[in-house]
Structure 1
């Protein structure tokens, strides 16, 4: 409940902007990132770029934002002091399961020129080890048989493109903003896989006319808590259950490849480039890779947040060593970036105690994240003749985490699409060595060539046994001695 000092709920002042973007996945990151950039772009140079935000599952975002006319508060956190700002770029919020036809109609509107996404890795219904669409995924099987009432993001995109082709309407640009390597190419691949299974002629049309630019997105966005909502109410005098908290830093790099128009996001600080691959690889490996490593090891070590974790000198030294010895040697330097400075800035961001980014939150959906964040870097190290023991330790920490029991014997609430299966595999193994071997055989996560690599298997097995025997903190310290 809002505190007694709150006199009213946040409300929109003035008219909502005309809709030009449909966004799938109106979670915290979208509100802290896409919506803020879009508002600033319209403030700087105008345009009809209001956003229709579509939830593919839960009505929570709609229930929180609709009474506020789509508005919400962007709360910037910093040790030196934060700031609050009302964001009004969201003009409409829909809940797809309640009326999928309404969502398809909105996406088919000729005024909509961009469909963007922040649906997390698992939302792409793909095999993380190969990038291919999983045609056996329950949502994909449903959508192929009932294209006018889809459940998946891929199904909605293809259904809307099918309508636009039938109506001779220009296609939209599909702009994915999730942390996946070559995310535009991946999105294009799963959309074409789906379309071919539905209608090969439609797939050809999509392949020839639709654009799927890749992007790199970066802003640390912890989950909003009741305390955050109450603190805002005390400061601002209104109740806003849709408020979002985030760090001050942000970076958006976008391939400038759009079918029709786009907002002037560059006026808000976005970088438009011909190819985003180098920036994306830098961020996935340097930030997301160490974030995941710190999340699993930090959680096992008893730390609640990333800032708590790197306050321990052993964890900070581990993170720095990962960058220096195992990660940056595999990352081509993007234009305009200094990798050493970039990593130093990352560590400063991790240390910001105003950003309470929980290790448990980052640890979610590891089966979808590891192939992109850690395993590619490991493969590159192995190919150069180097066994990356730090990254292998991070993989071992994930294997221990998905076993569902922490170092003190307490249950871990593992949130992962494969959680049940991983727990069963872990429980049924005869000993620790067999447990590692069995988990490395999960082909959705580990491709067989990597899983069978002797250096990788041995290093992960030794690290796992060390975690079981000595705990995360002692294992880290011994690694650095």
Structure 2
């Protein structure tokens, strides 16, 4: 018999399921979170749940929010189960499940973001946190800077009374708080982008400047945007996972989350109106966030990119199977050791090679069931953040970029939309309509792909990188992924 997850059924769940030890009615909302996806519910919501279980910070419960149709569907599913979520930690051979109760509600999702603006009139909401994906920050990929000409920004600057975007909602809410004499909320990004707090500040202040220069000055002078680093591998939930939940744990949950046991959160302690005592449940508060962040973005996220495209071209579906493939693992090991890790500055208290070994073991966890298509998605946003900056750093120092150029060539070949065996697949990227024709044309002229300047910028003019890229790409088309990887592992190109 399966128990549908609600507050009324908590007591009847199997005793092996960990459930909230606090009274939900004793919680008070303090954080509004925009972008309630799997990662948020496996990360921030879990940390807060642990804190509430410890009897602390009960005035920092979560209110969900969103602006996309997917957010509307998420709200509907969570409302039916009293905002509860089941989180399953996938320790090999020892999976555990717990019910997370740190969310108290979810702002209605409409055609615009006025409901979010109205919710933020509440002075008790002192933090707005975000997981809106790497591509959601209106950044010019070539420069890494805020793009004031982004269509979402242009629209909201002219329609701030009924904004449609995340940053329009934040600017509108901050404008009201300023007018009414209320303290501004802190804006905390939880997305995997370098200097995420600074990037968020640039987007909010940049939009505010298009509306009112004095409002932009208020944002710069009075609103806090702490930088943070977040980490937990959280794959997409499919029917496979939902079936596992009911059969193994006896819970029917429309939106469960499955994740690895490891989690990490490093935050800059910049919260003028207060914050939950997250240090009591393992969160690191430090002024050195940038060092942790760069380590993670380059070694972990860069590692994801390194295995995604060769594995995809070889027809491998699961990440743990990719790591078990000697060619893919060999490519990852060599690229990380010879080119990526040397471009990671020291991190206080961390041995970078030990950190990489931890990352590789996490990738190899078969119970997580993370997929290559998930790692391969959105490459046009992820490459400029995780791979190309390392390439630039090495070129500036005069170092070799053979492995990094091969990784980019693998991405290009992947963008062509077929495996080595000729099987077609869907390229999951917002720029797929431009990437695929360019990738196909690059078969004969590699420069065509590198001339996507919004992605590559001045790297398209770097002779060593262009040469290495061209050699690798021609090998991938002529000899295939296996032979190309073997050639790289043997003696390079």
Deviations 1:182-220 (A, max 9, x none): 111111111111111111100000100011111111100
Give the corresponding residue for 2:380.
367
- 1:112 Cα offset (Å): 0.5
Give the corresponding residue for 1:49.
60
Alignment check: 8 A CA contact 1:300 1:401 kept:
yes
Deviations 1:62-98 (A, max 9, x none): 1210111110101000213110000001111235334
Alignment check: 8 A CA contact 1:401 1:412 kept:
no
Structure 1 residues 381, 99: CA separation in 2 closer, same or farther (over 3 Å shift)? closer
Give unpaired runs (5+ residues) of structure 2: 11-22
The 5 Å alignment of 1:372-411 reads 372-411=385-424
- 1:283 Cα offset (Å): 0.2
Residue 317 (str. 1) matches residue 327 (str. 2): no
TM-score by length of 1: 0.95
Residue 219 (str. 1) matches residue 215 (str. 2): no
Alignment check: 8 A CA contact 1:117 1:176 kept:
yes
Alignment check: 8 A CA contact 2:379 2:429 kept:
yes
Give the corresponding residue for 2:114.
101
Alignment check: 8 A CA contact 2:113 2:165 kept:
no
- Cα distance in structure 1, aligned partners of 2:192 and 2:412: 21
The 5 Å alignment of 1:347-366 reads 347-366=360-379
- 1:433 Cα offset (Å): 4.3
Q: Alignment partner of 2:387: what SS?
A: helix
Deviations 1:129-178 (A, max 9, x none): 22323233222222111112222211111111111111111011111011
- 1:320 Cα offset (Å): 1.3
Give the corresponding residue for 1:452.
461
Residue 127 (str. 1) matches residue 123 (str. 2): no
- Cα distance in structure 2, aligned partners of 1:151 and 1:403: 33
Give unpaired runs (5+ residues) of structure 1: none
Residue 208 (str. 1) matches residue 221 (str. 2): yes
- 1:120 Cα offset (Å): 0.7
Give the corresponding residue for 2:18.
none
Q: Alignment partner of 2:107: what SS?
A: strand
Give the corresponding residue for 2:2.
6
- Cα distance in structure 2, aligned partners of 1:97 and 1:292: 35
Q: Alignment partner of 1:404: what SS?
A: coil
Give the corresponding residue for 2:202.
189
- 1:116 Cα offset (Å): 0.6
45, 53, 57: which one pairs with 1:35? 45
- 1:108 Cα offset (Å): 2.6
Give the corresponding residue for 2:479.
470
- Cα distance in structure 1, aligned partners of 2:453 and 2:272: 37
Give the corresponding residue for 1:26.
36
- Cα distance in structure 2, aligned partners of 1:36 and 1:413: 33
Alignment check: 8 A CA contact 1:100 1:148 kept:
no
TM-score by length of 2: 0.93
Greater displacement, 230-239 / 331-340: 230-239
- Cα distance in structure 1, aligned partners of 2:395 and 2:453: 19
Q: Alignment partner of 1:116: what SS?
A: strand
Structure 1 residues 377, 311: CA separation in 2 closer, same or farther (over 3 Å shift)? same
- 1:7 Cα offset (Å): 4.4
130, 137, 149: which one pairs with 2:162? 149
- Cα distance in structure 1, aligned partners of 2:360 and 2:404: 17
- Cα distance in structure 1, aligned partners of 2:302 and 2:269: 26
Alignment check: 8 A CA contact 1:56 1:95 kept:
no
Alignment check: 8 A CA contact 1:10 1:238 kept:
no
Deviations 1:313-341 (A, max 9, x none): 22212211112110111111111111011
- Cα distance in structure 1, aligned partners of 2:337 and 2:419: 29
Greater displacement, 383-392 / 170-179: 383-392
Deviations 1:222-260 (A, max 9, x none): 111112112212233331011100000011000011121
- 1:418 Cα offset (Å): 1.0
Residue 242 (str. 1) matches residue 273 (str. 2): no
- Cα distance in structure 2, aligned partners of 1:306 and 1:276: 28
- 1:425 Cα offset (Å): 2.7
- Cα distance in structure 2, aligned partners of 1:339 and 1:175: 27
Q: Alignment partner of 2:87: what SS?
A: strand
Alignment check: 8 A CA contact 1:8 1:239 kept:
yes
Greater displacement, 324-333 / 6-15: 6-15
- Cα distance in structure 1, aligned partners of 2:474 and 2:215: 52
Q: CA RMSD in A?
A: 1.5
Greater displacement, 317-326 / 405-414: 405-414
